Structure 1
Amino acid sequence: MKMAELSTVSAVAVATIKFYLRERLLPAGERTSPNQADYTEQHVRRLRLIRGLLDVGGLSVAEAHRVLDALDSEQPLQQIFGVAQAAVSEHIDPASVPASALARVDSVTDGWLVSPDNPGRLAAAQVIASLEAIGHLSARGWVERYAAAALLIAEADLDEIDAIPDREGKAETVVVGTVLGDALFSGLRRTAQEHVSALRYQPGSAAHHHPSLAESP
């Protein structure tokens, strides 16, 4: 297909496609003349992946470039995970995170095979430090329950990857799951919060009439 058809099928403007080509996010088509090229369904798929990374995942062009380069490489899946995690994570200087907060994260993830500079470990410790500073770190197992939920989500992520037979599909799922999974879980968490708060606090609910039942965990 020509670029105009690629634009129609993918719902991406021609100018945007040309930008992705210049930035080497999208592989070039097969040249048929100095000013013409043919594109395939693989280009349509890549365009949809690019839009997902940029528009939904919130990556910058440079971050998306690093992620896609890793996806197109022969790196082991664990290394691709690292690239994707770095792309979606704020850079945090380990020295800036209080040792007590890091110890709390290590306590609730005891037994996990995690590197000291894992961006999630540092980010979680930074959040815990902030919660402690404002007096909102619950002693009723809030962090521990989050850790348990995170482990379930990670198992779901890896089960999804393991179900895919080919290496290319596995690598793409690593990228998509890491970048878009955060947005998916955030959306489902907010949905669940409305559901549970309605069950507990709306007039007529059992928790509304019995405040002890409505305590936060």
Structure 2
Amino acid sequence: MISSIQHEVPFIGGSASSLPSPDSSSALSKNFMTLLITQLKHQNPLEPMESGDLLNQLAAMTSVSELRDIHAGISRLSDQFATAQLSSATALLGQEVAIDARQFSFNGDGNKLALAFPSPGTGHLLHFLLTDQNGTPVKEAHYQGRHNESPGTSIKKSLDQLFGSLPHGQYWLQSTLDGDSEVVPVQLVSKANSIVFNSSDQAPQIRLEAIEPVALSSIHSVTRP
């Protein structure tokens, strides 16, 4: 049986305040008073400024200050979340992790890659079909439930055990019980051996043995050594 624990990427909560910080509030008050005094000095005595104009100016300055504070708060949360993701990725190194096996890119040793699936039960067959990216069948395999093996018992078989040697490539996996069209959930199990970063957003990804790197969100479980 596969002993696993659910793995979730921790999220550091919090919300960016929509109110200016004490420092920015002080600066805002100082700037507004400077602007007010300057305008009062240079106003036309015959056409003094309307109080509404002053309020509009204050509102505009307040909005700019609030937007600046919100942006700074979001930037801090983004940095904290990136740190949490990297910490989670680092914690997985050297451990076996499981991902959905419906689609994967194989690029290595089939003995380092395994399928984890529920047993169909004594005497029953679980059928596996591998197809390429064009839907063309590549290889078929099956697993027959052993004597006194209860349905749902966790089974783990290497890719080589089931399909023999496979060329590198992109694969789709279908798994069904004999006489039933219902798809049986299967996971792909491999060891996490390094961290790489997505070129588009620099998010950390896990490089697994024998397959292409995967996002943290793709990992369903972790098998502790």
**TM superposition score category, shorter chain reference:** under 0.3
TM-score, scaled to structure 2:
0.21
> Which structure has the highest helix share of the two?
1
> Which structure has the highest strand share of the two?
2
Question: Quick check: which has more Rg, 1 or 2?
Answer: 2
